[in-house]
Chains A and B, each alone.
Chain A
Amino acid sequence: QVQLQQSGPGLVKPSQTLSLTCAISGDSVSDNNAAWNWVRQSPSRGLEWLGRTYYKSKWYNEYAVSVKSRVTVNPDTSKNQFSLQLNSVTPGDTAVYYCVRATTGNAFDIWGQGTMVTVSS
């Protein structure tokens, strides 16, 4: 049974970096048939896809244009996990953040438990 366990702080100060980690059990971050995504949810933006990393003979990353200059999604094969870093955060980045696995048809079949991140001084 595949599970995703998120960790990271729930409070980040404006202009600082939001960092979250998603530990994978029951699958591998290097799985050629999966992609590892970050999605956030807020009342103002709804569900918003942020970016993904995946391995198909080499590593690929893709990001949403809205955060592209500030976001990094990285795999960590030694710990079988992946991470999200969002720089220069503002209160507008306050949201629940989810890590998600995508498989057949880019279906988001496994979701992490969610992390409520508040950007405030």
Chain B
Amino acid sequence: DIVMTQSPLSLPVTPGEPASISCRSSQSLLHSNGYNYLNWYLQKPGQSPQLLIYRGSYRASGVPERFSGSVSGTDFTLKISRVEGEDVGAYYCMEALQTPYTFGQGTKLEI
């Protein structure tokens, strides 16, 4: 199974400031079609997870532009350009290249 390692596990932030979360995969997530199969999710308190980023850097429908994803080999980064209060919750990366799909441990963003 592919192991996903996130850091930090806890991220205190100030509204209006940027934030960054890292995720590393134990093997390449590069598909033969040229896309990296890495997705990012946000789970707000008391809610189901919601898709933010798919294929490493593509924003899902309705996701604000302040969220962006980047890829460097097996290192993936989720960036929030300016944190807002509604961004509070747990962020998870997930490899989507092969089953069993695996998730990172989660990063709890708090203001």
Contacts and interface: CB of A to CB of B under 8 A. Distances in A.
A46 B96 CA distance: 17
A106 B101 CA distance: 9
Interface in B35-50: 35, 37, 39, 41, 48-50
Contacts of B102: 49
B48 A114 contact: yes
Nearest to A111: B48
Contacts of B51: 107-109
Contacts of B54: 104-105, 107, 109
A105 B55 contact: yes
Interface in A59-107: 62, 64-66, 98, 102, 104-107
- Interface size class on chain B is 20 to 34
A65 B100 contact: yes
B96 A107 contact: yes
A106 B96 contact: yes
B41 A108 contact: yes
Given A62-B99, A107-B54, A109-B60, A46 B106 contact: yes
Contacts of A49: 99-103
A49 B106 CA distance: 15
A113 B47 CA distance: 8
A102 B60 CA distance: 13
